[in-house]
A and B are shown apart, each in its own frame.
Chain A
Amino acid sequence: MKIKQISVFLENKKGRLLEATEALAKADINIRALSIADTSEFGILRLIVQDPDKAKEVLEKNDFTVRVSDVIAVQVVDSPGGLASILKILNDNDINVEYIYAFIQKSGQKAVVVLKMEDLEKGIKALNEKGVILLTSQDILQL
């Protein structure tokens, strides 16, 4: 199950991240998970939100450069070795992970991580075969 992630290109300019989050706040869009990849001159803000299409629209209206892409979200046991077990499956199948970041969750029993792989389909297949549960966009709404 793929879910939609919003990527925003941020140039190295004061207040740019603030402007992006403020635009989302004004549109009443709640951020579920977030990560920032950054270099010395620019960064990429990645977001999981409940309504990605609306978020894209809002950000573009505010002159941001936005792309919606697919990632997967996996529930892992919130105990030592939880994430490692997932990564091992991918490693055994020679699947390269591009980046990974975690969800904020209220209940605290399970952790949710977002994964981006070079070959998403292959990753989904490998995880499914090992019985790993992938979250749907419906699940994201519940979080």
Chain B
Amino acid sequence: MFWQEEIEVISREELQRIQLYSLQETIRRLYYNVPFYNQKFRDVNLKPDDIKSLEDIQRLPFTTRDDLRENYPYGLLAVPREKIVRLHTSSGTTGKPKAIFFTKKDIDQSAELIARCLIMTGVKSDDILQNMMTYGLFTGALVMHYGAEKVGILVIPAGPGNTERQIALMQDFGSTCLHLTPSYALYLAEVMDSKGIVPQRDLSLRRAYLGAEPYSEETRIKLENMLGIDIYNSYGLSEMNGPGVAFECKYKDGMHIWEDNFLIEVLDPDTDEPVPEGQEGEIVLTTLKREGMPLLRYRTKDIAKIIPDTCRCGRTHKRISRIFGRVDDMFIVRGVNIFPQQIERVLMGIKGVAQNYQIHLEAYDKMTVKVEIEQDFFDGNIEKLLALKSRITEKLKSEILVTPQVELLEPGTLPISEGKAQRVIDNRNL
């Protein structure tokens, strides 16, 4: 099923023609309407007419998070302030947040993309979406909300938290789809389990959309089994409208990125050069349809790769792999680059390990992985626990090439998260 079939299965040639046209048009608007970009073009002695092919994008300047912060609040608007109808901000853990603006047309366009995503996963008019992302300045919930309404399904604007009420809503209204973060999904599954709720028997759930933080394939499989549903990966970031930038189709083999709206590059984060297709690198995105606040070559800091083959679903828009990690999440221990997702992938594949874990880094690169054990795994036998500990240590060592200290914890000890989870606690004061 398609929402906008003609654009979703468009030929690559036609798609590239549209991309070039949209890129040139975006560049003209930025050059003439946004002093920040005008200056950037002048710095490298470039005029809008110099961009004659899609490859020429490599001559254009990047936009970074710092650029967004420095131009806070209104500095990057490409339309008069009066045309803006909505503000979102992106969570800034340090310093100023980033402001993202939508015109009416931008809101409609982001809703169209979500509609494509939902239909792509099999949503029909009888579906009910329980939206468990945060409503407010964060893009996650509202953009999904508008898209689901565009499709015409019932949306329950539950927001996150209050897990017992969430379950009650599912029971009372028969929610079929959930939209939430992976860490909250894990917690939700755990609460259901402890309350004796069997989702397959007691609820009407069919699928869940997980986004806003990276997670592993093992976690997806674990959650699919626990909840008895299909789980689809969703990729988005506030700077690019929020959710709906890329989304999985029913084959769950990579996320289709809507290339008529976003021009994607995958670059080596150190050299800024494109990597060969299929290789991992930093995702860099250029908005092609955005009116209020177009962004050129935005450095997402997300590491992923393009899946080169065409998809069985018929859509011609390229697929990206799940996000391997954020450049910023990466930490270095004893000279080795490590992403928390690597650790998660190992942990979730080991029987006896519960959902929650934490990575602690102390002086002299002492790395401790704290892992909760599963309630049912404990049978009073100390050998079994020691064997689990050494199994975890061995498997982690072969994945990350560093031998961590592994600490087994009682189930439920680590702080639970209803939003983005803090997995790495770095006390090294580097």
Chain A interfacial positions (CB closer than 8 Å to B):
5, 7, 9-13, 37, 39, 41-42, 44, 46, 63-65, 67, 69, 98
User: How many Å lie between the Cα of A103 and that of B261 in the bound state?
Assistant: 74
Q: Known: A9-B410, A11-B410, A11-B413. Is A65-B373 also a contact (CB below 8 A)?
A: yes
User: How many Å lie between the Cα of A69 and that of B389 in the bound state?
Assistant: 22
Please determine whether A42 and B408 come into contact, CB atoms closer than 8 angstroms: yes
The residues of A that contact B378 with a CB separation of less than 8 Å are 7, 9, 65, 67
User: How many Å lie between the Cα of A64 and that of B411 in the bound state?
Assistant: 8
Question: Does residue B44 face the partner (Cβ distance < 8 Å to A)?
Answer: no
Residue contacts A-B, CB under 8 angstroms, 14 given: A10-B410, A11-B407, A11-B413, A12-B407, A37-B382, A39-B382, A41-B389, A42-B407, A44-B380, A44-B385, A46-B380, A63-B412, A65-B375, A65-B411
The residues of B that contact A7 with a CB separation of less than 8 Å are 378-380
User: How many Å lie between the Cα of A101 and that of B408 in the bound state?
Assistant: 25
Rounded to whole Å, the gap between the CB of A24 and the closest CB of chain B is 17
The residues of B that contact A42 with a CB separation of less than 8 Å are 385, 407-409
Additional A-B contact list (18), CB under 8 Å, known A13-B413, A42-B407, A69-B379: A7-B379, A9-B373, A9-B385, A11-B407, A11-B409, A12-B407, A39-B382, A39-B385, A39-B386, A44-B380, A44-B382, A44-B385, A46-B380, A63-B412, A65-B410, A67-B378, A67-B379, A69-B380
Please determine whether B407 and A41 come into contact, CB atoms closer than 8 angstroms: yes
User: How many Å lie between the Cα of A10 and that of B407 in the bound state?
Assistant: 12
The residues of A that contact B380 with a CB separation of less than 8 Å are 5, 7, 44, 46, 67, 69
User: How many Å lie between the Cα of A65 and that of B406 in the bound state?
Assistant: 19
B386 to A, closest residue via Cβ: A39
Q: Give the interface size bracket for B toward A.
A: 10 to 19
Please determine whether A63 and B382 come into contact, CB atoms closer than 8 angstroms: no
Beta-carbon contacts of B371-389 to A below 8 Å, as 1s and 0s?
A: 0010100111110011001
Beta-carbon contacts of B284-320 to A below 8 Å, as 1s and 0s?
A: 0000000000000000000000000000000000000
Rounded to whole Å, the gap between the CB of B409 and the closest CB of chain A is 5
The residues of A that contact B379 with a CB separation of less than 8 Å are 7, 67, 69
Q: Indicate which residue in A37, A41, A63, A98 contacts B408 across the interface (CB closer than 8 Å).
A: A41
User: How many Å lie between the Cα of A44 and that of B381 in the bound state?
Assistant: 8
The residues of A that contact B375 with a CB separation of less than 8 Å are 65
The residues of B that contact A13 with a CB separation of less than 8 Å are 413
User: How many Å lie between the Cα of A111 and that of B380 in the bound state?
Assistant: 24
Please determine whether B408 and A11 come into contact, CB atoms closer than 8 angstroms: yes
Rounded to whole Å, the gap between the CB of B416 and the closest CB of chain A is 13
Rounded to whole Å, the gap between the CB of B368 and the closest CB of chain A is 9
User: How many Å lie between the Cα of A44 and that of B379 in the bound state?
Assistant: 10
Question: In this complex, which of B380, B389, B413 has the most chain A Cβ atoms within 10 angstroms of its Cβ?
Answer: B380
List of 10 A-B pairs having minimum Cβ-Cβ separation, nearest first: A7-B380, A67-B380, A11-B409, A9-B378, A41-B407, A69-B380, A11-B410, A37-B382, A65-B378, A65-B410
User: How many Å lie between the Cα of A39 and that of B62 in the bound state?
Assistant: 53
User: How many Å lie between the Cα of A64 and that of B410 in the bound state?
Assistant: 7
User: How many Å lie between the Cα of A11 and that of B409 in the bound state?
Assistant: 5
User: How many Å lie between the Cα of A69 and that of B386 in the bound state?
Assistant: 19
User: How many Å lie between the Cα of A11 and that of B412 in the bound state?
Assistant: 12
The residues of B that contact A44 with a CB separation of less than 8 Å are 380, 382, 385
User: How many Å lie between the Cα of A9 and that of B413 in the bound state?
Assistant: 12
Rounded to whole Å, the gap between the CB of A46 and the closest CB of chain B is 7
Rounded to whole Å, the gap between the CB of A72 and the closest CB of chain B is 15
B370 to A, closest residue via Cβ: A11
The residues of A that contact B373 with a CB separation of less than 8 Å are 9, 65
The residues of B that contact A39 with a CB separation of less than 8 Å are 382, 385-386
The residues of A that contact B406 with a CB separation of less than 8 Å are 41
User: How many Å lie between the Cα of A33 and that of B424 in the bound state?
Assistant: 41
User: How many Å lie between the Cα of A26 and that of B406 in the bound state?
Assistant: 34
Question: In this complex, which of B373, B378, B382 has the most chain A Cβ atoms within 10 angstroms of its Cβ?
Answer: B382
User: How many Å lie between the Cα of A102 and that of B162 in the bound state?
Assistant: 47
Rounded to whole Å, the gap between the CB of B388 and the closest CB of chain A is 11
Question: In this complex, which of B373, B375, B381, B413 has the most chain A Cβ atoms within 10 angstroms of its Cβ?
Answer: B381
The residues of B that contact A64 with a CB separation of less than 8 Å are 410
Rounded to whole Å, the gap between the CB of B20 and the closest CB of chain A is 59
A6 to B, closest residue via Cβ: B380
User: How many Å lie between the Cα of A23 and that of B375 in the bound state?
Assistant: 19
User: How many Å lie between the Cα of A69 and that of B410 in the bound state?
Assistant: 19
Rounded to whole Å, the gap between the CB of A6 and the closest CB of chain B is 9
User: How many Å lie between the Cα of A142 and that of B183 in the bound state?
Assistant: 50
The residues of A that contact B382 with a CB separation of less than 8 Å are 37, 39, 44
